[in-house]
Amino acid sequence: MFTHILLPTDGSPLSEAAVQKGIQFAKTINARVTGFCVVTALPYVGCEAEIGEEFKKQAAAAVQAEVNKNLLAIEKAAKEAGVPCETAKAKSAQPYEAIIDTAAKKGCDLIIMASHGRRGVQALLLGSETQKVLTHTKIPVLVYR
């Protein structure tokens, strides 16, 4: 059925729970996983002149450290479960596009990701990367809530 699962994470508790369930699912069907994180551009719109280069470097380093921590956690969980795992990361202003592109490039046949369950006006204003992935991909998506 499925042989290669993409597990995108943003490091949130719900996302981490989805990763854990994704690894368990992969183990039961003898699939491999790819852990994935998107490095988003930091928003400096309108205040770039006031933000120094040193701050930008420190902020970028902090984001990279968080991404690396998240990917390491996926690798560790997969190894403990005996599930073959690789990791990937991409820089993108649109995380959903990076998720879809990576799934296609890596040959994933399933994406398992979390939904934070925003509703109403909050969902309309904030949007949902999960919803965008569901809308734009042809690859099956399993949503964990």
The total number of structural domains in the chain stands at 1
In the prediction, which pLDDT does 19 show?
Answer: 97
In the prediction, which pLDDT does 113 show?
Answer: 96
Residue 110 sits in a domain whose CATH number is 3.40.50.620
In the prediction, which pLDDT does 120 show?
Answer: 56
Strand pairing class (141-144; 110-114): parallel
**How many helices (H) and strands (E) in the chain?**
5, 5
pTM of the model: 0.89
Ranges of residues in the chain whose predicted pLDDT is under 50: 124-126
In the prediction, which pLDDT does 130 show?
Answer: 92
* Domain range for 113: 4-144
